[in-house]
């Protein structure tokens, strides 16, 4: 079996598999790497005055990790700039929030070169290299320039935008040409895969072969959809843990006989939290008989606090939740419990199980593993109901959820009302189908399908540019 070299922006495997927050990438990659001999390489999250390329090797949670520090300028231009002010909003269809600055793109290119230079000594001839997400799209190009002939795969965890939307990005053609240095390009859904190949054919002038291979300017890459899953077996273990049971008992007591609706998200404008709150307000307004009988627990973990758009959404959610609570609360009931902190994975399992409704309504999401975790946490004898946005990648797999348009407050409110009154027999039928999918399409299936497809790609054949291009 080949070694697996996983490369991502951040490297944060949990020391304990029961510990995790709302982000699914760390849990998924940790589970994948525990089955392989290999290394997880990336940025430590720390900055240094001068970039040295020095590596720090550690063993965390059964995974070997290699970390490097970046300069503060790198963090601002590459991470806060191009990754999170340019690509993230554009890829989530928020072109109104996307910022285009030449220094951002320069920082993005520079850091990808630094990633390539620093990881290069770790790579052995037979290693498979698996690069993760939008931060590192040009990394294969930089590795090829330095003589790396290994098979290199890329997986995008977020959506790929429609072709005309993507052309808004200055230098979009150069970014796509760089991504074609990967042997395999993976997306969460067929929709994202089709958006990418649509760009290749109709904008870039390339071709698409029946087997999913794209050709452009002499480059060739295999393209496919590989929907990510959770570690279903590990999550089943977590839900039975003492901590999860304790949290479930506390939540059951705290509910005081009321039905709980739960949302768990990173604090991000793509998650549709303001519209979710307004849909809940619509539910309360149109159904006064539900007053004091339900409440919404929204856990929203802060992130990217240095980016203005995130500061704005946090302030807006504080205002909206406060207004709703002020309008509907009584001395014994608060309709929204809004919490800005993270929870352990086993604690979340207990919270999910105590909830009658799981509310997952992003405006746009690559997959959304919270939807799958909510299903996996349910009691088979009395399961809750998942209400899921049609614009989450998970909706393509989880058709027995109540699928909604998250931009329609009335539609979301109606779905929650239906979920609260759904008969037990229907709840069980829906849950059984959903749970089967969660177990079948778990993180192991994701890893194995991608690695198998990468191994099946033709051995890279190219003339290295390493001799003609000086290192940056």
What is the pLDDT at residue 190?
Answer: 97
- Rounded distance, CA 238 to CA 350, Å? 9
- Asked whether the beta carbons of 357 and 416 are under 8 A apart, the reply is yes
Rounded to the nearest 10 degrees, the angle between the axes of helix 232-239 and helix 369-377 is 50
Of the candidate CATH numbers 3.90.930.12, 3.40.50.620, 3.40.50.2000, 1.10.4190.10, the domain formed by 4-229+445-455 belongs to 3.40.50.2000
Pairing of strands 385-389, 63-71: unpaired
- Could you tell me the residue ranges of all domains in the chain? 4-229+445-455, 232-440
- Rounded distance, CA 99 to CA 152, Å? 30
Strands (E), 202-329: 207-208, 213-216, 219-225, 259-266, 294-301
Instruction: Name the catalytic one among 69, 74, 127, 365.
Output: 365
CATH class of the domain comprising 232-440: alpha beta
DSSP result, 380-412: TTS--EEEEETTBGGGGT-TTSEEE-TT-HHHH
- Asked whether the beta carbons of 333 and 234 are under 8 A apart, the reply is no
What is the pLDDT at residue 26?
Answer: 72
Domains 4-229+445-455 and 232-440 share a fold: yes
What is the pLDDT at residue 29?
Answer: 75
What is the pLDDT at residue 234?
Answer: 84
Q: Kindly give the confidence (pLDDT) of every residue in the chain, 472 residues in length, as a single tens digit, with 9 standing for 90 and above.
A: 678 999 999 987 665 555 554 445 676 677 767 777 789 999 999 999 999 999 999 887 778 899 999 999 999 999 999 999 999 999 999 999 999 999 999 999 999 999 999 999 999 999 999 999 999 999 999 999 999 999 999 999 999 999 999 999 999 999 999 999 999 999 999 999 999 999 999 999 999 999 999 999 999 999 999 999 998 888 888 899 999 999 999 999 999 999 999 999 999 999 999 999 999 999 999 999 999 999 999 999 988 777 788 889 999 999 999 999 999 999 999 999 999 998 998 999 999 999 999 999 999 999 999 999 999 999 999 999 999 999 999 999 999 999 999 999 999 999 999 999 999 999 999 999 999 999 999 988 999 999 999 999 998 875 544 434 444 3
3-state secondary structure of 116: helix
Asked if 365 is an active-site residue, the reply is: yes
Residue 402, judged by CB atoms within 10 A of its CB (0-12, 13-18, 19+), counts as buried
What is the pLDDT at residue 18?
Answer: 53
From residue 80, alpha-carbon distances to 34, 107, 242, 300, 309 in Å are 30, 10, 39, 20, 11
- Rounded distance, CA 110 to CA 91, Å? 21
What is the pLDDT at residue 21?
Answer: 45
What is the pLDDT at residue 1?
Answer: 64
Strands (E), 118-165: 128-132, 152-155
What is the pLDDT at residue 17?
Answer: 52
What is the pLDDT at residue 377?
Answer: 96
What is the pLDDT at residue 467?
Answer: 38
Instruction: Name the catalytic one among 135, 157, 172, 363.
Output: 157
Q: Please state, as a whole number, how many other Cβ atoms lie within 10 Å of the Cβ of residue 119.
A: 25
């Amino acid at each position: 079996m080949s070694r697996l070299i996983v490369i991502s922006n951040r490297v944060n495997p949990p020391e304990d598999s029961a510990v995790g927050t709302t982000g699914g990438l760390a849990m998924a990659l940790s589970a994948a790497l525990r089955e392989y001999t290999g290394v997880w390489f990336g940025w430590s999250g720390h900055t240094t005055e001068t970039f040295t390329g020095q590596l720090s090797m550690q063993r965390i949670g059964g995974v070997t990790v290699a970390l490097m520090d970046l300069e503060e300028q790198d963090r601002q231009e590459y991470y806060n700039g191009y990754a999170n002010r340019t690509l993230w909003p554009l890829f989530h269809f928020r072109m109104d929030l996307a910022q285009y600055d030449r220094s951002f793109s320069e920082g993005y290119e520079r850091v990808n070169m630094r990633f390539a230079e620093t990881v290069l000594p770790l790579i052995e001839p037979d290693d498979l290299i698996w690069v993760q997400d939008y931060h590192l799209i040009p990394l294969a190009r930089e590795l090829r320039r330095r003589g790396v002939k290994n098979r290199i795969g890329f997986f995008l965890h977020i959506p790929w935008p429609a072709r005309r939307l993507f052309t808004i990005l200055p230098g979009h053609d150069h970014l796509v040409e760089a991504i074609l240095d990967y042997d395999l390009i993976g997306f969460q859904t067929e929709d994202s895969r089709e958006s990418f190949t649509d760009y290749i054919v109709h904008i870039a002038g390339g071709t698409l072969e029946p087997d999913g291979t794209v050709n452009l300017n002499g480059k060739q890459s295999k393209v496919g959809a590989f929907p990510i899953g959770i570690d279903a077996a590990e999550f089943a273990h977590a839900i039975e843990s003492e901590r999860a049971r304790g949290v479930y008992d506390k939540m059951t007591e705290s509910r005081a006989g009321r039905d709980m609706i739960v949302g768990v998200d990173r604090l991000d404008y793509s998650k549709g939290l303001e519209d979710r709150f307004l849909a809940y307000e619509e539910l309360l307004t149109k159904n006064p008989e539900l007053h004091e009988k339900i409440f919404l627990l929204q856990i929203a973990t802060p992130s990217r606090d240095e980016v203005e758009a995130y500061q704005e959404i946090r302030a807006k959610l504080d205002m909206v939740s406060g207004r709703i609570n002020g309008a509907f609360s009584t001395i014994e009931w608060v309709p929204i419990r809004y919490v800005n902190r993270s929870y352990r994975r086993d604690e979340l399992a207990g919270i999910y199980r105590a909830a009658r409704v799981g509310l997952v309504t992003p405006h746009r999401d690559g997959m959304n593993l919270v939807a799958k975790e909510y299903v996996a946490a349910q009691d088979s004898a009395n399961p809750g109901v998942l209400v899921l946005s049609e614009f989450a990648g998970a909706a393509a797999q989880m058709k027995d959820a109540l699928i909604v348009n998250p931009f329609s407050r009335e539609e979301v409110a109606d779905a929650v009302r239906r979920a609260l009154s759904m008969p037990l027999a229907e709840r069980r039928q829906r849950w059984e189908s959903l749970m089967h999918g969660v177990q079948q399409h778990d993180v192991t299936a994701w890893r194995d399908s991608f690695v198998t497809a990468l191994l099946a790609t033709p051995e890279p054949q190219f003339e290295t540019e390493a001799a003609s291009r000086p290192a940056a």
